[in-house]
Amino acid sequence: MPMPDTPIPATDIQRLLEIMALLRHPTQGCPWDQVQDFESIAPHTIEEAYEVADAIHRGDMDELRDELGDLLFQVVYHARMAQEQARFDFHDVVRAISEKLVRRHPHVFGEAQVDSAEAQSRAWAAHKAAERRARAQFPAAVSHLDGVSLALPAMSRAVKLQRRAARVGFDWPDVSGVLDKLREEQAELESAMAACDEGRIADELGDLLFTCANLARHMMRDPEAVLRGANYRFEQRFRRMEVLLRESGRTLEEASLAEMDRVWELAKGEEAPGYEEAGSSSGSSSNSGSSSKNSSSKSSSGGLPP
């Protein structure tokens, strides 16, 4: 199949690369940019990715265009620093991702047949696993959990670990098992709290959160997205509570907890129907898990390729 024409003139990318090179120029560049390295730029890269997600969440296409530009600049920035160290350059980055996409989509660029998005998810996972084995120094020691980045947000990483485990059947067969596990973890946390065992409390609280991520995944929800929705609703209600108290001549500091609870319920009551869904984007998650080995649960993951 012929490759489609690129929609971006090469001169546009070249101009961006030239701007980056000048910013990093040792004598003519920007003093701030001259002293940056991979470690100092990495937090900005993560921040820009989140700002892209935020623009998508808010449906602001003008903002999304700008934020995608900022994220692209981060790629150019890292590639420029690598080029200065004679490691690789931006063209190597583009070449690598192009080759990877062609390699992982043989049904588009080759003769393979894929019947559905679910089948493609399975094929994508198989390609990635084969690539990990090929890169490994000792292929026999390769784990199914290799390659799950430690830098991911904890909830997202939990889902990816659960998804990997589910591919070999280490998963709850349905959501009822996860709910049972959630109740079990809650009881274990309460037991640790009753014993005032600080180490166990931290561990059990972590297990409870891990199981919450598992529950979201089984319900085909992205836990990061639903938690962002909860954050949004809390913020909007809290701000409205402040306004309502101010209108009554009171401040939060002056109000009792009972009074704040009453005003909080008023703020909730003012919300329009459907508001509960408005604050979150329920991105689908993969159907995988963490707890019980069950051979009947060897189903493929859905959603984006892991």
Instruction: For residues 115-130, give the mean pLDDT.
Output: 76
Q: What are phi and psi of 204, to 5 degrees?
A: -70, -35
The pLDDT confidence band at residue 10, using thresholds 50, 70 and 90, is: low
What confidence tens digit (pLDDT) does each residue in 260-286 have?
999 999 999 998 765 554 454 445 444
The domain limits of the chain are 11-104, 109-141, 154-222+284-297, 223-278
What confidence tens digit (pLDDT) does each residue in 149-186 have?
888 889 999 999 999 999 889 999 999 999 999 999 99
pLDDT of residue 131: 72
Which tokens hold the place of 31?
A: 């003093």
Distance CA(9)–CA(136), nearest Å, equals 38
Q: Is the pLDDT of residue 296 over 50?
A: no
* Fold assignment, 154-222+284-297: Helix Hairpins (1.10.287)
67 contact partners, CB below 8 Å, separation of at least 6 = 48, 51, 52, 54, 55
pLDDT of residue 275: 58
Across the chain, what does the average pLDDT equal? 85
pLDDT of residue 290: 38
**What superfamily would CATH give domain 11-104?**
MazG-like (1.10.287.1080)
Which tokens hold the place of 203?
A: 């561990």
Cα 55-232-206 angle, rounded to 5 deg: 105
The pLDDT confidence band at residue 137, using thresholds 50, 70 and 90, is: low
pLDDT of residue 272: 73
Q: Is the pLDDT of residue 195 over 50?
A: yes
Which tokens hold the place of 30?
A: 């920007």
pLDDT of residue 303: 33
The pLDDT confidence band at residue 292, using thresholds 50, 70 and 90, is: very low
As a whole number of Å, the CA-based R_g of the chain is: 24
Distance CA(245)–CA(251), nearest Å, equals 6
The pTM score is: 0.61
**Domains 11-104 and 154-222+284-297 fall in the same CATH topology:** yes
What confidence tens digit (pLDDT) does each residue in 235-265 have?
999 999 999 999 999 999 999 999 999 999 9
The pLDDT confidence band at residue 115, using thresholds 50, 70 and 90, is: confident
Spatial CA neighbour of 144 closest among 119, 126, 157: 126
Spatial CA neighbour of 228 closest among 57, 49, 44, 52: 57
The pLDDT confidence band at residue 104, using thresholds 50, 70 and 90, is: confident
Distance CA(194)–CA(188), nearest Å, equals 10
N-to-C CA span, the chain = 26
